[in-house]
Structure formats: structure tokens, C-alpha cells
Structure 1
């Protein structure tokens, strides 16, 4: 089973839920940190890294000796990654989405593809019972194309019977890349107007993908009940509420796992997984 833990906005506690869920389960599992622009799950889990590989994205290279400057490559590119001006062809690798369209439409076969380094994928194990596997992606400085790095990280998910994905915040392409093809999406929010606004956007994205979902309310006790009302109206289960609590905040500030600083939460997170498993099984039986 693959569980993606997401949020409509940053700072809601998504990584807190992902890391503590991982640490509470004595299962054959893997945690993947797909927040590749700013991965931080390692701060709470201190993994032992044993592997590292480059992530490359193909970008066009033009052979001017074959080019007839017909501009078909420029016309097909919706991101302005290739431009033809007079007898000059200029490529902008940072804008390229690596779709390969320019190589297909070039009548003279003047365009080939070369690799551009955009990030790395690191793998290792966690110092937890059962030594769960850990993987994370990290974009290179100045790069903007997160989905190729996320897809490379997700190639690891077939190695274990359970994969937990710490997705990026928001609802854009990197989030879709982290949720697509998963069995369940756990949406972490906070009971505030901003939390509700971004939760509604995240729910719409999950609906488009047709994936069952549930909600975790973090910092419960602040704000209002609008998130609960929304969840009830949308028939989305609230699977866990984590209170706004000084001891929880203290553990987080020290980089400690909640299930270790406050051991009673280990059973609570186990219950969260049991609820998710039941929902996924019901969907499979339908």
C-alpha cells in the first residue's frame, strides 16, 4: 500500500505526521521524502545514507549544420525553451519540460537530447525497529523542475509492502506527481481560515485523481470548527486530531519524534494507520 501525506499549504504538520506514522509501525515499510525543494524528514529520523544517484532531464541540442530554421521546434514548445531567430537557434534548458516534442517535429532530425543534471536521490535506512528504508530527493540549486526528481524517488516504492510519501505542500504539479497512483491521500490541515482555504484546493486535486482521502487536523483547539463542518459536508473522515500542545511543540522544536517524546502517541498513530487500511480495503471490495 502507498500512502501519500499532503497538505494544501506549508507548515501544517505534514512531515510531523509522515515521520511519526513511519516510526509507530513495525512493518516492512519505506518513507520517501518527495518534498524535493526542501526535504526535512531526515531532521527527525537521522537516516543512515548508503546510496546516491544523479537525476538528469533530457534537453535539446541542435545541430546547426542540419537545421533549416523552419521554426517547427519553436512552435511546438509551450514553455519558450527553444527559439529561432534568423540563422540562430537558442535553447533555454532551465525552461525545458523534457517532453521531447521538438525532436519529434524536426523534419531534418537536427535535434537530439542531452542530459541536464537537476538533482539527486539519496537512499538509506532508519534507526527504527525493523530498519525501515528511507529515500529522498533533492533538487540542485537553481533548478525549478521538481516532478522528474519526484518520479525518480518514487521508483523506490516497489521495494516494500508499505510506502509512506511525504509530499510537497500545495496543489501544483509536484504534489500531483507525489499523489498520482497512490492508494490513499492523508491531508494534514489546521483549523484556521487559511488552513480551510488550502484544504479545499487539495481535496479538489485528490478528487480529480480519484483517490480516497482522509484528514488530520493538527494544532486542534485553535481557530474554529469550519474544517470539521467542511469535512462533514464533503463526507471526508477526520482520522486524527493532534492538539495544540506545549509538549508537542517542545518535542518538534528539538527535532524529536512525537511518538518517542510522548510514547502514548505511538498507539494513536497505529490507530491512524488501521483506519486508513480499513478505508482502502473497503474501496478494494467495492
Structure 2
């Protein structure tokens, strides 16, 4: 499983992930968009045919008020403050619940059972030789990790490309977890370098092999290049700042289809990463 990530938004993760998937027509590739708050990788494949979709739910506590003694054991146990016990009732805050089930075990009166709450939907589509999997978080939901896990489970094994959420918080960590290799996309600017350093630290702590692709090369400065050299982090590819690529991308196009000279380069990038893994 290959994940494509970055420390900040707007660096070109989806540009790289979609074109990388399209550069391997002779292989069955699964492109999984784990940016469930704003998934867009599937929009670059208008010929897709949806073959499966499912609602994703998470467990939440349900309190039997008649059996509840208001002892407060459940709220004391919950580290996320998803329950508040008052003399007249028990308040539940579903958005804070992490679904661990601890309150069910902690309740001495057996007054708590598990219900469920819908957090979003996941989709599986086919576009030529590529499979597309993505999730759409329900409006108002704060936690993305259960849906990200569901997207990865639907994607399964094989040649999977994970399009990760931006940043380095919990959604990104959940998306890259279990990756054989992570391709970090950055840009040669002070902002790009700052967030790249954070992303590298996260991957080092998770012990995930990684390399870097510099997008929009030719702008900014050389600080990113010096950092990679000092840290001995492989620079695997550069994509130049190109108005033509930007125009193709803004139309929802795959740029290697209009600039075929890049198809071989991205295919070679995949081979190079496979060799680094092995």
C-alpha cells in the first residue's frame, strides 16, 4: 500500500495520486481517497461506474433511564466526556463518543447498551482498469477516523494508492497507517518546508519508509533541497510549475493524458518506490 501525503493542503497530493493511478493501465490499481471531508479524486474519472456503496455507523451508548441509578461510573470512566450524569437524567454527547464500549462495561446497573449513529457513506467505483474508493463524511461530523478506516477496509489489499488528507493530525495518521511507503508531496517554499519537516517527523515516529516529490519546482528557494540532502531523504521526482498542468487539473483532467511524456516518468516512479520497499 502506497500513501501520498503532505504536511499542508494545496501541494498537489491529488494531482500526484490520480496521475500515478492513471499511469499504470496494465495493472489493477485501487485509488482510495481518504480525504473524507472533501473527497475529489473520483471526479477526475468521469467514466466511473459505481458498483458498491454503504453507510458507515459507529457505536454510541444508549441509557435505560429506568435502570440507571445515577452513580456516575460511566461519566467517570469516559476520557472523552461523552456522558454527563445529573440527578434527573444522563446526557449523551454523540459527537464526543469514540465508541470504545467502556461505559457499557463500567455501568454496575447494566443500564447502558450500544446503539449506532451514521457518520457517512463510502463508495466503490470502477474506471477502466482502476478501482476508486472514497468516503463522504456526514455534514456536522467532527471525527473522520472511523470513515477513513472503512475506506481502507473497502480498498482491501493489492496495489492501493491512498490519497491522504492534508496536514499531520489524526486523519493523516490514520490514512498512512499500515503503508509500505509514503510519498510526501511538497513545494519549494518556506511554508512547504515547515510542514514537510512535521510530516517527516510523523512518518519517522510511525516507522514508515518515505521519499519526497517536489511539485511546482522552479518557484521559491532551495531550502527544501538542502533539507532533503542533510537528512538523506530521497528526492524521487520534481514536477515543474506549469500553467498547462494547472489548466488541465482545473478542468478535472488527468495531465498525463494530454502530456503523454509524463506517463512513463510516473510509471517509473511507481517502479522505483516498489524497489525501495523490497
1:11 CA drift (Å): 0.6
Contact 2:55 2:122 in 1 (8 A): yes
1:177 CA drift (Å): 0.9
2:271 pairs with 259, 270, 274, which one? 274
Distance of 2:248 and 2:147 partners within structure 1: 31
Aligned match of 1:284: none
1:234 pairs with 207, 231, 236, which one? 231
Aligned match of 2:117: 116
Deviation per residue, 1:155-184 (Å, 9 max, x gap) = 12335x200010101111111111111100
Gapped regions of structure 1 (runs ≥ 5): 282-286
Distance of 1:65 and 1:193 partners within structure 2: 60
Distance of 1:121 and 1:62 partners within structure 2: 29
Which 4+ residue blocks in structure 1 deviate beyond 3 angstroms? none
1:98 CA drift (Å): 1.2
Distance of 2:15 and 2:222 partners within structure 1: 22
Q: How high is the TM-score relative to the length of structure 2?
A: 0.97
Aligned match of 1:88: 89
Deviation per residue, 1:95-133 (Å, 9 max, x gap) = 111122211211111111111000000001013xxx221
Would you say 1:34 and 2:31 are equivalent positions?
A: no
1:236 CA drift (Å): 1.0
Aligned match of 1:212: 209
Distance of 1:275 and 1:176 partners within structure 2: 24
Q: How high is the TM-score relative to the length of structure 1?
A: 0.94
RMSD of the alignment, in Å? 1.1
Gapped regions of structure 2 (runs ≥ 5): none
Contact 2:133 2:155 in 1 (8 A): no
2:139 pairs with 122, 129, 141, which one? 141
Deviation per residue, 1:8-48 (Å, 9 max, x gap) = 11110000000000000121221101100000101212221
1:87 CA drift (Å): 2.7
- How many residues are aligned here? 276
After the TM superposition, which residues 148-159 of structure 1 pair with which residues of structure 2 at under 5 Å, given as runs? Answer: 148-159=146-157
Distance of 2:219 and 2:101 partners within structure 1: 49
Give the SS at the match of 1:274. Answer: helix
Would you say 1:69 and 2:70 are equivalent positions?
A: yes
Q: Which moved more, 1:51-60 or 1:95-104?
A: 95-104
Contact 2:20 2:270 in 1 (8 A): yes
Distance of 2:250 and 2:149 partners within structure 1: 31
Give the SS at the match of 1:164. Answer: strand
